[in-house]
Amino acid sequence: MNTVKEKKLNAIQLSGLIIGPILGSGIIILPPLIYEVAGEYAILSWVIIMIVNCFFAYLFGQLSMKFPGDAGVTQAIEAVFGKQIRMLASFFIIGAVCFGPIAVLLTAAQFLPNPFLSTEWTAFVLMGLSLVILLRHVSFVGQLSFILSSISVILLFSGGLVSLVLEPKLVSMNTSFDLSSFGSSLLLLFWMVVGWEVIGNYSNEVKNTRKTIPRAITFSTITITVVCLIVAAAIQWSDIQGEYITVTAVLKPLFGSAANVIMGIVAPSLCLTGVILFIGGIARLIHSTGVENKWPKIFTYKTANAVPITGIIMLFTVHMFVFIFIFFDVLHVQQLVAIADAFFISNVLVCLLAAWKLFPSKKVKIMITIMCIVLFGILLFSSPYVLIVIVLLMCFFITKQVKENKQAALHLDQPVYSKR
């Protein structure tokens, strides 16, 4: 028992669970896509989203310290709105993780050409690999994630910097500003913000929460910001002739013909760390929810390494069914991302509303209000079917919360009679 207690995450290990997942598949896919959408103003989009990213890092870091535990920031939601609204937010984030990791694994599989396996089967194998890693103690997972994240960060940063130095392109802002295109680029870049809300689920396994979490978040935020801006600038201001600019192409001035091999290491590494973070974090949330609601013991079991095995198995079972739909061409990557984004945004909105009540600062409240308006606008572009599911979940849990509040009020209003 003492061995398990001592194996807590330090700031380096925790940052390993943050940097790779936040960069994730987004840093591979989005830089050329944002440049295509926003043109010369793409770098401005990145600067704005990095500011938003810093705000989210601060917000969820504070909530994680104030409400530590396997349940993560959903505890803050219960403190403000009640247990049923906390369950609503939990269902939102669980729903997102039922679909999102598969899209990430399919992205990683595209960078691992295999003459024997299709992209779908390669992603399936990667899912099995992530399961094996998740069954290890969280300290090992944190160390592995930090190693993979560090390698990826160094390669992307050095490749982007060399591209800017060796293949510079004249910087100009000649085109007129298109608000519609600029807004679309910001919507796409929201994918770079997803991940901070899961950090709190690991707070029980962190050494000295008050010191470790701020250090890890500060280091991670600086690293993520620098890498994103360097890669985005290299995409926009590097003059690579004769080919469509991709992140792989940006690496070629430094790594030459080995760039494809390098990207075959970077992309799967970042994607795998993201999958590990989300599945591990939400498995802990499922475990906490089971314990608090007194579910059968099988739903609350942890291994000797403190791994929430039941939650992991539950999520992987759902992922198996999702893969079946993919194999039969019923679901595609774009649909998986759209479904996951809708549930992620719904969860973040509930978290932000709770934070609005908890944080006394007027500046923070204004920022939260702006974020809520923007995210709600993004949510409206989701699939009508997904929105219907979200609305039904809201109606169900809000109704239960109202009834629970009424029962509590009636209980308080009941007169107390003394015995004579």
Predicted confidence at residue 7, as pLDDT, reads 65
pLDDT classification of 124: cutoffs 50, 70, 90: very high
Instruction: Please check whether residue 362 lies inside any domain of the structure.
Output: yes
Mean pLDDT of 141-151: 84
pLDDT classification of 3: cutoffs 50, 70, 90: very low
Instruction: Please check whether residue 274 lies inside any domain of the structure.
Output: yes
Mean pLDDT of 221-237: 92
Predicted confidence at residue 321, as pLDDT, reads 95
Helix 362-379 to helix 333-358 angle, to the nearest 10 degrees? 150
User: Whole-angstrom Cα distance, residue 348 to residue 364?
Assistant: 15
Per the DSSP assignment, residues forming a β-bridge with 238 are: 168
Q: Which residue has the higher pLDDT, 318 or 298?
A: 318
Give which of 325, 399, 315, 294 is closest to 95, Cα–Cα: 315
Per-residue pLDDT reduced to its tens digit, 339-366: 888 898 899 899 999 999 998 888 889 9
In the predicted structure, residue 173 carries a pLDDT above the cut 70: no
Instruction: Please check whether residue 415 lies inside any domain of the structure.
Output: no
Instruction: Please check whether residue 11 lies inside any domain of the structure.
Output: yes
Q: Tell me the residue range of the domain where 355 lies.
A: 2-404
Predicted confidence at residue 17, as pLDDT, reads 79
Mean pLDDT of 280-290: 86
pLDDT, the chain, mean:
84
Instruction: Please check whether residue 132 lies inside any domain of the structure.
Output: yes
Predicted confidence at residue 293, as pLDDT, reads 74
User: Whole-angstrom Cα distance, residue 190 to residue 197?
Assistant: 13
Q: CB atoms < 10 A from the CB of 279, how many?
A: 24
In the predicted structure, residue 420 carries a pLDDT above the cut 50: no
- Local structure of residue 113 (DSSP, 8 states): -
Contact 149, 141 (CB under 8 A): no
Mean pLDDT of 224-245: 81
Model's pTM, two decimal places?
0.81
Instruction: Please check whether residue 346 lies inside any domain of the structure.
Output: yes
Number of domains present in the structure of the chain: 1
Instruction: Please check whether residue 419 lies inside any domain of the structure.
Output: no
Contact 59, 353 (CB under 8 A): no
Q: What CATH number should be reported for the domain holding residue 396?
A: 1.20.1740.10
How far, CA to CA in Å, does 280 sit from each of 113, 308, 340, 346, 400?
Answer: 27, 8, 17, 20, 29
Instruction: Please check whether residue 409 lies inside any domain of the structure.
Output: no
